[in-house]
Amino acid sequence: MKKLLPALCISAIFFFGCKKEEETQSLAKAKTPVAFTLSEFTQSAGTISKARSGVFDAASSLKSHVDFLYYHVYDNSGALVKSKVQNSADSAFGSLSDSLNQGVYTIIFSASKKALSFTEANILNAECSVSDLSCWDETFLQKLIIVVGSSPINKEIALKRVVAGLKLNIQPDLPSNIGSIKITTESEHSSYKLNAGTSRLVTTRDKELLIFSNEPPPEYMLMHILNTSDSHRVTISAYDRFGLLAIQKVIENVRFYPNKQTVFTGDLSVTAELAIEVDHAWDSPAETISF
């Protein structure tokens, strides 16, 4: 498998039958069954999640990375024909069955950790966003155009990760007075256009991590970023156990890239400068930014 992509793979098996002109009207309206089954799940080296490169058990791997699977079908005019959603609690999670008339369709598969909201409009205006308006999490999408004809179609569909990762490494000797860490970006996008594969609607998003005094701090903090077309102003804030700001660092002009992560490594103490190491690609050498 290639390292960067695919991230999620789905086998698509289509079963279609041809129609004859002499068929009755009821037979002419009959739909053909379509089945989609998750076949494998792969991850790149240095991935956002804890998985390593390789092929994994389909059901358990899918459930460990995403909780929702969405299926949207649009006809040749761009109108929405039907949509389906599964969550990881479903016994058939990862397997989709459907039936379609002969014709040309655009099918959009989406998989996400958080619940997504979709605009049920023409495909040219169809968009998705995080339902609770919080920051993005693991999100994968893929668009497929199919022609339903007389011959069976067997395809493997690779769902591509459309978000980037902002990973903040946390030193094990974090000062004991730190009670929480917050990452804020003022250039995030809240909506993703399904057909164009672009994001829009600038907004501010933040993510907070609580640090408990009776437990060692986690190794890192991860925030997913949708806007990979513009530079970001990233603010890292550390608060003491009374909720007062203890230290704050602002990093200008940070870029993010789909299916890649930017890693911040440094000393989150009140007195020390925070040195930032930015790794723009999972499979490329690291690039250091000093400020």
pLDDT > 60? residue 145: yes
Bridging pattern class, strands 198-210 and 178-193: antiparallel
The percent of residues above 90 in pLDDT, for the chain, comes to 42
CA 27 to chain CA mean position, Å? 41
Domain that holds residue 68: 8-161
Bridging pattern class, strands 127-130 and 178-193: antiparallel
Query: How would DSSP label each residue in 69-94?
Result: EEEEEE-TTS-EEEEEEEETTSTTTT
- In a domain, residue 103? The reply is yes
pLDDT > 90? residue 106: yes
Tell me what pLDDT residue 11 has. Answer: 46
> Is 192 found in the same domain as 120?
no
Instruction: Average the pLDDT over each of 35-39, 175-179, 268-272 and give the range with the smallest value.
Output: 35-39
Question: Domain boundary residue among 161, 176, 198?
Answer: 161
Q: What is the 3-state secondary structure (H, E, C) of 184-229?
A: EEEEEEEEEECCCCEEEEEEEEEEEEECCCCCCCCCEEEEEECCCC
Tell me what pLDDT residue 275 has. Answer: 54
Both tokens of residue 245?
A: 């700001």
- In a domain, residue 3? The reply is no
**Do 167 and 207 contact (CB within 8 A), yes or no?**
no
SS3 of residue 181 by DSSP: strand
pLDDT > 80? residue 207: yes
> Is 139 found in the same domain as 18?
yes
> Is 145 found in the same domain as 23?
yes
d(CA 180, CA 209) in angstroms, rounded, equals 5
* Ramachandran class of 131: left when φ > 0, alpha when ψ lies in -120 to 50, beta otherwise: alpha
Q: What's the whole-number mean pLDDT along residues 140-152?
A: 84
Q: Count up the domains in the chain and report the number.
A: 2
> Is 55 found in the same domain as 69?
yes
> Is 151 found in the same domain as 208?
no
Instruction: Average the pLDDT over each of 9-13, 59-63, 217-221, 247-251 and give the range with the smallest value.
Output: 9-13
pLDDT > 70? residue 16: no
Question: Domain boundary residue among 161, 196, 218?
Answer: 161
d(CA 3, CA 26) in angstroms, rounded, equals 49
The Cα angle at residue 200 between residues 194 and 201, in degrees rounded to 5: 130
Question: Domain boundary residue among 127, 161, 195?
Answer: 161
Instruction: Average the pLDDT over each of 66-80, 235-249, 254-268 and give the range with the smallest value.
Output: 254-268
Tell me what pLDDT residue 37 has. Answer: 54
Phi first, then psi, for residue 103 (nearest 5°) are 155, -170
Average of per-residue pLDDT values in the chain: 77
**Do 140 and 159 contact (CB within 8 A), yes or no?**
yes
pLDDT > 70? residue 58: no
pLDDT > 80? residue 211: yes
> Is 151 found in the same domain as 101?
yes
> Is 242 found in the same domain as 148?
no
> Is 217 found in the same domain as 106?
no
Q: Exposed/middle/buried for 206, CB within 10 Å: 0-12, 13-18, 19+?
A: middle
With cut-offs at 50, 70 and 90, classify the pLDDT of residue 171: confident
d(CA 240, CA 101) in angstroms, rounded, equals 61
- In a domain, residue 1? The reply is no
- In a domain, residue 2? The reply is no
> Is 18 found in the same domain as 157?
yes
CATH number of the domain encompassing residue 79: 2.60.40
